[in-house]
């Protein structure tokens, strides 16, 4: 087997984060060097616990889980219990974790790992607000030239926003962190709402997880049954968008996605459009192209990959 691809998952579980973590842990091509939790969908004390719950569900209590930033760089924390439930992982009943949280701060783990591993060998997969990644870049600017790629879920343009008319949740919660990341010079792949809204957890797709007949399959179906209800009601669709697993699926099979290298700039001044990602999709400005922005997905291929890999856990 070719050398495993080394990744760090930065996350605010969240049901869709949970499925992304399961996809990573069910994929032998990947080596998950660590999981860093960030405040987002729910406060940090819950996101770090949820990350440990998911590692244990996957039978991987060996995975190192770290707690990172407790709030955004500048703005007060905004959470999303109305979407994810009070625990952030409502749906299945998952046992309290017994694996320990790492002592080291998540930001220090990111910096230390990037400075230790070979330059260009580690991919960072942010699935929540970008606070930890921004803090790592500020704490140790040298990591910017050592990160292979940042593949993140966040933003939206043609699709608009999901927390305000113009802003997607991860970017809205910490727009200043998003600005640090977008200006870092690190190669970025962005999975915005424009693509994640094409990956809907239809009843047939959720049933495929349940038919795995395993604890992971059952828990995943329960996670999605809970998670999708908010967006089904809002958008009137069969199923809700499965955002975060798009990040890990891209690392595994980039051919599932189509996009364009563009300039992406984030609004950090106007309250009206705070956190909006302005994507120069048509190249009408001379702003530097700083992100590969995905807009299309082979949704059936995406869900087939998910079922196959989660079936291995
Ligand atoms: O807007 C969707 C994003 O916000 C996803 O990462 C979801 O988990 C929430 O964090
Ligand atoms: Ca998330």
If phi over 0 gives left and psi between -120 and 50 gives alpha, with beta otherwise, what is residue 190?
beta
From residue 180, give the alpha-carbon distance in Å to each of 47, 76, 107, 309.
Answer: 23, 18, 15, 34
> What is the per-residue pLDDT for 237?
92
Beta bridge partners of 297: 257
Amino acid 194: pLDDT: 98
% of the chain beyond a pLDDT of 90:
99
* Rounded-to-integer distance, Cα 290 and Cα 312, Å: 36
Q: Which atom of ligand 1 is nearest to the CA of 14?
A: 8
Average pLDDT, the chain: 98
User: What percent of the chain lies above the pLDDT cut of 70?
Assistant: 100
Dist. CA 303–CA 10, nearest whole Å: 22
Q: Which of 96, 47, 92 is nearest to 220 (CA)?
A: 92
* Rounded distance between C-alpha atoms, residue 293 and residue 261, angstroms: 6
Q: What is the mean pLDDT of residues 219-243?
A: 94
Q: How far is CA 241 from CA 216, 262, 312, in A?
A: 20, 23, 23
Look up residue 157 and give its two tokens: 């343009």
Interval 200-220: pLDDT, tens: 999 999 999 999 999 999 999
C-alpha 65 – ligand 2 centre gap (Å): 16
Confidence of residue 312 (pLDDT cuts 50, 70, 90): very high
Residue 1 scores a pLDDT above 80: no
Domain ranges of the chain: 5-310
CA distance 94 to 53: 7
Q: What is the pLDDT of residue 239?
A: 94
Question: Given pLDDT bands bounded at 50, 70 and 90, which one contains residue 2?
Answer: confident
Residue 170 in contact with ligand 1 by CB distance below 6 A: yes
Q: How far is the CA of 166 from the centre of ligand 1 (A)?
A: 15
**76 DSSP assignment:** P
CATH class of the structural domain 5-310: alpha beta
Please give the number of the atom of ligand 1 that sits closest to the Cα of 163.
1
- For ligand 1, is residue 10 a contact (CB within 6 Å)? no
Question: Residue 169: its pLDDT value, please?
Answer: 98
Q: Which atom of ligand 1 is nearest to the CA of 241?
A: 2
Ligand 1 neighbour 128 (Cβ under 6 A): yes
CB of 129 within 6 A of ligand 1: the answer is no
């Amino acid at each position: 087997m070719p050398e495993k691809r080394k990744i760090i998952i930065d996350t605010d579980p969240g049901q869709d984060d949970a499925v992304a973590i399961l996809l990573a842990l069910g994929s032998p091509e990947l080596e998950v060097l660590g999981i860093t939790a960030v405040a987002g969908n729910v406060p940090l004390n819950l996101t770090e616990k949820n990350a440990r719950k998911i590692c244990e569900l996957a039978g991987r209590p060996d995975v190192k889980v770290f707690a990172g930033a407790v709030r955004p760089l500048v703005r007060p924390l905004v959470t999303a219990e109305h979407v994810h439930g009070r625990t952030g992982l409502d749906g299945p009943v998952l046992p309290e974790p017994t694996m320990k949280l790492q002592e080291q701060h998540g930001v220090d783990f990111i910096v230390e790992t990037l400075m230790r591993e070979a330059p260009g060998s580690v991919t960072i997969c942010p699935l929540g607000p970008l606070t930890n990644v921004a803090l790592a870049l500020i704490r140790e600017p040298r990591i910017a030239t050592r990160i292979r790629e940042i593949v993140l879920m966040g933003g939206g343009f043609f699709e608009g926003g999901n927390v305000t008319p113009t802003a997607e949740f991860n970017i809205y919660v910490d727009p200043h962190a998003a600005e640090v990341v977008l200006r870092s010079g690190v190669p970025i792949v962005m999975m915005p709402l424009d693509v994640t809204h094409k990956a809907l957890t239809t009843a047939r797709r959720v049933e495929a997880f349940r038919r795995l007949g395993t604890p992971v399959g059952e828990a995943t179906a329960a996670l999605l049954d809970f998670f999708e209800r908010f967006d089904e009601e809002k958008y009137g669709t069969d199923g809700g968008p499965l955002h975060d697993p798009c990040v890990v699926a891209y690392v595994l099979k980039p051919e599932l996605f189509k996009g364009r290298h563009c300039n992406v700039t984030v609004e950090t001044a106007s309250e009206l459009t705070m956190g909006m990602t302005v994507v120069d999709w048509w190249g009408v400005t001379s702003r530097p192209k700083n992100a590969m922005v995905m807009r299309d997905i082979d949704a059936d291929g995406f869900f087939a990959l998910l079922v196959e890999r989660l079936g291995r856990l």
